[in-house]
Structure 1
């Protein structure tokens, strides 16, 4: 691979640390590390691109834009715990109260 192809925006040392945190992973080749980093970069770029298209502000991607895309796209449901929709504390406490009322 050419030198410019090996450059990564994400720190590969962090990606390696995350990959090694899995008990099933014993060793990671440089190629696997690079490809995982590249796939992650492409995923984040795609998520940002989709969020920008859905955004009212066509110059910036806001947190609410990301949260809206994550919550509306079934393939991104795995991110709902990481990028939840923002709600007011009042709304949270109302939902919490309803849940506790249902349990009793």
Structure 2
């Protein structure tokens, strides 16, 4: 088996932070270095893909904005698990109107 050069394999994300997040789960007792590295690399690739898809759907081809991310998350079925984290922005007035409407509908149904 060929010997790996450990200096060539790097992660952009801080592995110590990833370890801390992984250890915050009560189901996790120990984390191998391989699992830690693979989780970091998978996260890095996921974020790169999310940014690339957001950039492609953006009207501004230089910057990715929050609205671009929110549109991608809300339109792609595979990313809908992020809807609570990256919701579409709405104005307070629209939210209050929607809340009032749902309360009126609830009163009518009872």
- Interval of TM-score (by shorter of Structure 1 and Structure 2): over 0.9
How many aligned positions are there?
103
Looking at structure 2, the residues matched to 59 and 100 of structure 1 have their Cα atoms a distance apart, in angstroms, of: 42
Deviation for aligned residue 1:18: 1.2
Looking at structure 1, the residues matched to 20 and 106 of structure 2 have their Cα atoms a distance apart, in angstroms, of: 41
Q: What RMSD in Å do the two structures reach over aligned CA positions?
A: 1.0
- Secondary structure of 1:9's match? coil
Query: Out of 3, 8, 32, which is 1:4 matched to?
Result: 8
Query: Out of 75, 79, 94, which is 1:91 matched to?
Result: 94
- Relative to the length of structure 2, the TM-score reads 0.89
Deviation for aligned residue 1:102: 1.9
- Relative to the length of structure 1, the TM-score reads 0.94
Tell which structure's C-alpha radius of gyration is larger: 2
Unpaired runs of 5+ in structure 1? none
1:13-62, Cα deviation, whole Å (9 max, x unpaired): 11111111112111000110011000000000000000000000011111
Greater share of helix residues, 1 or 2?
Answer: 1
